[in-house]
Amino acid sequence: MNTDLFASDNAQQNPAVPIGPGSYFLGGFLLADAAAVLGAVSEVTARSPFRHLTTPGGQQMSVAMSNCGSLGWVSDRGGYRYQALDPLTAKPWPPMPALLLERAQQAAKQAGYENFQPDVCLINRYTVGARMGLHQDRDENNLTAPIVSFSLGVAAVFIWGGLQRTGKSQRFMLRHGDAVVWGGPDRLRFHGVAPVKADEHVLTGPVRINITFRQTGP
């Protein structure tokens, strides 16, 4: 496919690009306040540090994770779930910084989702070679709310599949400042991230940060 369609150059002027019946790519959505967003992430991870979770199958994930908001996504031998306490600190997750909530709601609105009230903000940190296998996001009780995803730092290839694991998938780049919003008929699409290549970004060094906002409740 033509990945140039999704290039972020001059992206703040770019309109939302539909990538499915309920999904939009917002190129460069965060470019103007990327540094502030990364600062907010650092405040969160100073309190709930990045860690490599274990899958229910016993593998350590290559992506390191943290959360903010009233609930956080965790994985261990017992399964995947959302919980109010950070298992590492035994304390509540840090509150969602106002800037993150505001920008997530704005992105959702641009994609036509008016009343997005995320209670979870999952922060993923990728270093060289880190990847995320093909999966569906289906641990949320509310599958009518969309998911908002922000990418910062080093770029990555996003794998955008269909509603079946074995269907065809598209690939496109997620670059620094890009946002993706998806929901409705696309909410359960399979997706993943190809292994991140060695690269440097001036704001993050050799790291990609992805932030996903979810609404688990009504």
The beta-strand segments (E) located in 50-182 are 64-69, 72-76, 79-83, 120-126, 132-135, 147-153, 156-160, 170-174, 179-182
CA dihedral (148, 149, 150, 155) in degrees, to 10, reads -160
Question: Which string of x and - marks every residue 117-156 that binds ligand MD6 (by CB under 6 A)?
Answer: -------x-------x----x---------x-x-------
- 124, interface contact from Fe ion, ligand MD6, none, CB < 5-8 Å by kind: ligand MD6
Q: Based on the shown chain and the rule CB under 5 A, indicate whether residue 186 belongs to the binding site for Fe ion.
A: no
- 132, interface contact from ligand MD6, Fe ion, none, CB < 5-8 Å by kind: ligand MD6
In whole angstroms, how close is the CB of 78 to ligand MD6 at the nearest point?
Answer: 21
Question: Which string of x and - marks every residue 180-209 that binds ligand MD6 (by CB under 6 A)?
Answer: x----------x-x----------------
Task: Name which of 92 and 106 has its Cβ closer to ligand MD6.
Answer: 106
Residue 53 burial (10 A CB sphere; 0-12, 13-18, 19+): middle
